[in-house]
Every structure is written in structure tokens, then in C-alpha cells.
Amino acid sequence: MLGECNYSSDTDAKAAGWSCVVAAAFNTVHQNSKRRTDAVPAALHTNLKKVDKNKFGAIGKVNAPSKLLRVGVDVDEVLGSFLSGLNTFIAEEYLQQHKESEYHVYDFMKIWRCSQAVVNDRVHAFFESEHFNRGISPIPGAHEALQNLSFYCHIVVVTSRQHVIRQPTLDWINQHYNGIF
């Protein structure tokens, strides 16, 4: 059964169309998550109902990526728990305790109550730490959901990470999500 769609097999879900399949794949990612993510599957479900399936041919990996719908996936807080590692680093190195819920925006000056120069120094120190190199855990269930979704969509990584951590980011993605992107 695929997520909320209640089909007995992938074949039945494919026959029903992409909208349900993609929504089900995303629901699988966050089934056990505490984060509010129901808007993502709902948005995909709504938008994919408008896709002309005949235009894209048969559904599945047999299609060239250019024939499949592209879905962008962010790295931080979608593939990996960046804030958890950063927050632990800040607590240990600078003795500042913050809840992850305080990071509702990536404006660390407001959260850490310091200047932009101090924020830059701390973030770059984090990039060189073991908290960054080994402390970013994959989001539970993301790999499996993306694997399911990859049969129906061409998945690409979208991030605003700094160029200075490009190679470590690519290495991390290859280590935890090899073969998906």
C-alpha cells in the first residue's frame, strides 16, 4: 500500500496517475516525523493532477530524466538535520543553549544575539568541526521515500549552502543518498 492512496500495489497506483503516487511517496518520508509536512504532499497532489501523463510517456525509470517531472529537494532539514548539528556545536563551543524551534528563520544574528561578523565566524568554525563533518544525520525515512519517488520523477538537489562546503556537501549526499540524484 502506498501512503494515503490505499492501493494494493504500485501497479494500481500507477494506473490511478502520478498525483497520488507522488503524494504517497512524500507521505512515507514523514509518516513518523514530528514536523508538519502535510502541505508538501497536498501541493504535489494538486499540481500533479494537472500534468498531462500522455506528454511524458510511460511512468518509471525507463524514461529519460528529461521526460519526467522534476522535483527539487533541499539538503538542510529535508535530507539532513543541519540545525541539530549546528545547534549542538553552538552549545558546546559557545555555551549557548537554543531550542531547534528558535531557528524558524536562518537569521542567526537574531537567535544568537550577535553581529553578522560573529555569525560568519561561528558558521565557518562549524564547517570545519566534527559536528559538521560527522554530525549531520539523514532525516529518517527520506532515503526510502526518495527512492520510491525516483520511479516517477527526476529528483534534483536544490540548496543555498555556501560554495566553501560544496565538496563536503556532495560527499555527504553520495554517502547517504547514493544513486538517487
How does pLDDT run across 142-152, given as a tens digit for each residue?
999 999 999 89
pLDDT value, residue 64: 56
**Rounded-to-integer distance, Cα 56 and Cα 65, Å:** 10
Check pLDDT > 90 for residue 30.
no
pLDDT value, residue 65: 55
pTM, to two decimals: 0.63
Average pLDDT over residues 73-78: 95
- Cell numbers representing residue 106 in the block: 536562518
pLDDT value, residue 159: 94
Q: Which contiguous run of DSSP H or E holds residue 133?
A: helix 130-133
The backbone torsions φ and ψ at residue 64, rounded to the nearest 5 degrees and listed phi first, read: -65, 145
**Rounded-to-integer distance, Cα 146 and Cα 109, Å:** 34
Sequence letter at residue 141: G
pLDDT in tens, 132-141: 999 899 999 9
Active site residues: 74, 76
Check pLDDT > 60 for residue 56.
no
Q: Residue 12: which pLDDT band, with cuts at 50, 70 and 90?
A: very low
Percent of the chain with pLDDT over 90: 56
Higher pLDDT, 59 or 88: 88
pLDDT value, residue 48: 41
Check pLDDT > 80 for residue 73.
yes
pLDDT value, residue 164: 94
**Rounded-to-integer distance, Cα 10 and Cα 148, Å:** 10
Sequence letter at residue 103: Y
pLDDT value, residue 46: 38
pLDDT value, residue 181: 86
